Amino acid sequence: MRNRRANRFRWLSPVVLVLATAALPVAAAVRPAGPPPFPDARFRLLLDAAALQGFLPQLPTLAAEAVRRGPIGSPDGDAVVVAFLGTAPQKGYTIAIQGVTVRGAQVEVTVGFQAPLRPAERVEYDYPVDARAYPRGRLPRPPFHVVFRTPSGRELFRQTDIRPRATPPTAARREEDVGDPYQVARVVRHEFRDGRFRGRRLVRVHTPQVELFWTPEPRGVVVYGSLPEWLQVGPHTPTCAVTDRAPEAIADPLRGSNADRTLTLGDVWVEVNARHARRAAPIRPESVPQRAWLACLWSVRQSDAPDEWLGTHVVDLYPVWLRQRAPRTVEVVGWTALFHDVALHLRLHPAPAESVPLDLVVLRPPRPRGDVAVGAYLYYGFDRDPTRPQYAVHLGKGSDGRFYTWLVEPETHDLDLYVRLARCEAPAPLVQLSVWNPPPGVRCDTNTAVQAFYTHAGFLSSLGHSGPLTLMLQVVSPQGWRSVPFSVEVP
């Protein structure tokens, strides 16, 4: 799916923009990003190559490429420690992983970093990053915790409950090893016979809790959410459903072919993240409980098993909170002001089944001088890859002829987008302003999207405004998606 998205839409690479756009002078005494680590810093210990590949899209493209080209070698047999200082406003910042220490069930990573002696005369984005391989055999038994600290002991980041991904059927040495063997409170085991045939059923009850969402639809309810990372094993990711049945009631009648009659909520099969035509479960909204089980089903039969052996069916059960959300809701989970972008973390409710056009509206846009208003727009981020593992971001027209920031074929409801400011000529005060689709008589300049020297402070200074600026924003869509108004403070 990712390759298909990449072929449909072509964006000018952020790397090309950095090389092609000259940096403009700024005041020599200004460090627009403040002291490091910067707000988009990331620190992680990753157990395998798959986890590393899933993490790298969280970094700017140049930082991700630096990790791929770095000295970590082949991470297949090693863990990888990554320390990204965040997007820096000039060259000269450095970061280094200075040591890894194991103390019981906790790993401590010492990270040192330095700033240049003096501010540069111009803004030039840089991406200080370090990555080191670490022998997996030296790590504590999962799950364990990792704390990243400076040499002086200041905590930078804490990573909890690190554990391997679930074992898919193709990698299980024994049938009982399939699925998730970690953080198990108890196991319900059932051996069965069917004439001369035999088989096994295992129900593992886990302690970690999971949060999922549901929304009502005309045909029932849709249940969706981001599964824990350890259950995301690519093409081998299990089918999961929500059930209110007790573990013992699951183990006895379970068959691989009738899971939809065993792992039920009431008497209804309620699949999580279903994308087929029956994704809405025929259940009344008032029948959806707040608490239930997330049941993920694995089936395996080893190739060298005797003919009379039917294999093993495993159900991994996790306590789940079910949160109701209104249809076509854009939830602003959080935002982070960087010196050159504002990072937005959004959730769409329910998980979309098709591409989604979004627009950003500034409510009562500030007018720092005369006929100039401050606008803002959504985009993929100047130094970010527009093609992500589960969706792509594209700017294009809708069927109404207006421009939107498109989420292309999303396979998740958790999304990251970015905001930049734009100068708009508006003769009169406005109630609301869309930069992509300004009202008649208003003209907006969006060349900030391709400026490798852009900073919020420099942009606002050019309009005669000094200090932070608060904007009231709202995400809207012609398909009916909408957020509640929210405010961000731009430094």
Q: Where are the domains of the chain?
A: 31-162, 169-324, 329-490
List, for the chain, all residue ranges whose pLDDT scores fall below the cut of 50: 1-30, 256-257
**What pLDDT is recorded for position 72?**
66
Bridge-based pairing state of the strands 342-349 and 392-397: unpaired
Of the candidates 344, 364, 484, which has an alpha carbon nearest to the alpha carbon of residue 419?
344
**What pLDDT is recorded for position 24?**
39
**What pLDDT is recorded for position 23?**
38
Bridge-based pairing state of the strands 309-324 and 197-206: parallel
Rg of the chain, C-alpha, whole Å:
25
Residues with Cβ within 8 Å of 170's Cβ and at least 6 positions away in sequence, in order, are 236
Pair of tokens at residue 115: 């700033």
Asked if residues 210 and 320 have their Cβ atoms less than 8 Å apart, the reply is yes
Sheet-wide strand order for 78-84: 42-46, 78-84, 129-135
Pair of tokens at residue 6: 């990449």
DSSP annotation of 227 reads: P
Segments of 207-267 assigned E as strands: 210-217, 220-224, 239-243
**What pLDDT is recorded for position 149?**
98
Of the candidates 266, 419, 444, which has an alpha carbon nearest to the alpha carbon of residue 336?
419
Asked if residues 160 and 142 have their Cβ atoms less than 8 Å apart, the reply is no
Q: How far apart are CA 134 and CA 138, in angstroms?
A: 8
Pair of tokens at residue 16: 């090309």
User: The pTM is what?
Assistant: 0.88
C-beta atoms surrounding 190 within 10 Å: 16
**What pLDDT is recorded for position 7?**
37
